[in-house]
């Protein structure tokens, strides 16, 4: 019973955080890691963060576009 509950709880968080977009999860972890490890002063930090968030979104959309184009060319 407890094992099932723990498994269901972990599955919920896996679906919620990773789901079918692992690239977004990995991207956010990398962004926060970079900002944690590389000290940035003034406006540089916020600008780098926004740039990396935009880049992660674009990569995720590009992955989906390639997948969709490949899917269409197979039909």
Partner 1 sequence: MSSVVLVIAVFLASSVEMVEALTIVLAAGTSRSWRSALEGTFAGILVLAVLVLTLGPALLKYVPISSLRLLIGALLLIFGLQWLRKAILRSSGLKAMHNEDEVFEREVKKLKAIPQISKGRDSTSFVVAFKGVFLEGLEVVIIVLTLGVSNHKLTLAAMSALSAAVVVAIIGAVVSKQLSKVPENAMKMGVGLMLVSFGSFWSGEGLGLQWPFSDGSIPILVAVYGVVTFLLVKLLSRQYQVSLVGKEFS
At what angle are helices 22-37 and 44-74 packed, to 10 degrees?
160
- By CB under 8 A, tell whether 60 contacts partner 1: yes
Nearest to 30 by CA among 14, 9, 48, 44: 48
- By CB under 8 A, tell whether 58 contacts partner 1: yes
- By CB under 8 A, tell whether 68 contacts partner 1: yes
Residues in the chain: 75
- By CB under 8 A, tell whether 10 contacts partner 1: no
- By CB under 8 A, tell whether 59 contacts partner 1: no
C-alpha dihedral sign at 62, 63, 68, 69: positive
Applying CB under 8 A, the residues found at the interface with partner 1 are 16-17, 19, 21, 24-25, 28-29, 31-32, 35-36, 40-43, 45-46, 49-50, 53-54, 56-58, 60-61, 64-65, 68-69, 72-73
């Amino acid at each position: 019973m407890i094992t099932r509950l723990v498994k269901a709880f972990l599955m919920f968080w896996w679906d919620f955080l990773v789901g079918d977009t692992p690239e977004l999860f990995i991207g956010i972890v990398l962004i926060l890691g970079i900002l944690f490890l590389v000290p940035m002063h003034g406006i540089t930090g916020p600008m780098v963060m926004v740039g990396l968030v935009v880049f992660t979104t674009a990569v995720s959309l590009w992955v989906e576009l390639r997948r969709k184009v490949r899917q269409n060319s197979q039909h």
